[in-house]
Amino acid sequence: MKRLILGVVIFVLIGGFFWQQNNFEIAVNVTGIIGGGGILIGGFLKTGFINSSVPVLGNLAIIKLDEEIDLSNTVLLVALPNLIGSLLLYFIN
């Protein structure tokens, strides 16, 4: 829950900063990059973008690190509110 709230706080801070400058296009771009990049990084950390029949080459250290500190879920939960907020800002403006 803390990770999701952190993502919302990041979105609100970025949105508020660019709202003061009256430039929503940059807010959409920045939060979209955070959201899209976070989804991609979280997917690679979970090795969700590879075929299950393919052996994992060199990713055993990453998988072990992910199991210890739960990094992929953290990245995904911080990125998700930014991606959703970016899409909302895009369709509102």
Q: Using an 8 Å Cβ cutoff, are 39 and 33 in contact?
A: no
More confident site: 48 or 2: 2
pLDDT at 26 over 90: yes
Amino acid, single-letter form, for residue 18: F
The helix/strand/coil state of 79 is helix
Q: Concatenated DSSP letters for 18-62?
A: HHHTT-HHHHHHHHHHHHHHHHHHHHHHTTTTS-TTS---S-HHH
Confidence (pLDDT) at 68: 78
DSSP label at residue 75 = H
pLDDT of residue 24: 87
